[in-house]
Structure 1
Amino acid sequence: ISNLLEEERGQLSEVEKKVLRSIKKHKVIAENVNQQFDRQLTLGEKVADKVATFGGSWTFITMFGFTLVIWMMINGLFLANRGFDPYPFILLNLVLSSLAAIQAPIIMMSQNRQADKDRFMAEHDYQVNLKSELEIRMLNEKIDHLLQRQWHRLLEIQQIQMDLMEELKENSPAVKKHSKH
């Protein structure tokens, strides 16, 4: 198998060598890589993922929309110019800018981690697919070999049967009697 791979692809990568080892040892290569990837996350990465997930949800958008409307109603309508953030809502602008400044890098960290996870999963998928392809090739070769052997064996059996039929024909009294007339 390794010769076949080297012919097709040239120098084997570490991933391909790992697949070959798993075939030789009859090891299962498919596994849940999500759990494996999630186990290596730090607390900060887990928090960043939760914040990014919440920040991109309808729950966040709805709550944030209500908060903005309430803030503007309290400071703009009810308290008029006596509110803690009168119109044009400078404090609200500061809060929104701060939120965006904090949320943007957190979302980017989460997206980078997701890209890493996607690469990790793609490599694992490649390993599983390569192993499947190689095992299917091996099975096809075995089936071809068995069919060839079976074909030759059937031809041998057929020849033996033909020889036996010929011998029976020559030794049969009915055939001898029939051939004299």
Structure 2
Amino acid sequence: MTARLQLAQSIDAPLKVAKFFQASEGKWRSERRYYTLPDGETKEMVSSIAIRFLPPGCEELIKLAQLHGLDDPQILSCGAEVSWDSKDSVSGKKQSKGSTLFGVAGNTLYRDRGFATPKPVTAEYYFTNDQTMCLRTEYNGSVFEEELKLVGTNYRTRQTIISRAGEQQMIGQYLEKRLS
């Protein structure tokens, strides 16, 4: 990527992510399939997801900035609160329930918790186009590469690849349908 393109993406990124979070706001049904590598064992889940856009200066973003020890508690330009309730698609057994906060400053996405840790984490993000956001998060020796894509106004797709020590461990694929 050229330095000029990187600069343009850096300048546009906070505006793009705000539009992306606003377009994602609402209630969704997420159908997920996880593939464990290399054996290919699969697990299917269904989740109810609620996404709420967080404007600059809101209480949640100030707390998130403080959690990360950022000097300026107003630095996060926008964010989202995502809550979920998941169950196994086959057995119906409850899997997880919770929420997480996302906040943006520059090309960094701050979270109050990670996918596999309750500790605060950061991710670098970029857009391949206005509808597709990509994230890269690293912690505890693992790398999480994610792509979230808005498909029209009523669908989102997501794909997550989890690697450890340079080897892919799991692939998660998601189809999310807007409920409201």
Normalized against structure 2, the TM-score is what?
0.21
For CA contacts below 8 A with separation 6 or more, give which structure has more relative contact order.
Answer: 1
Normalized against structure 1, the TM-score is what?
0.21
Larger radius of gyration: 1
Greater helix proportion = 1
Greater strand proportion = 2
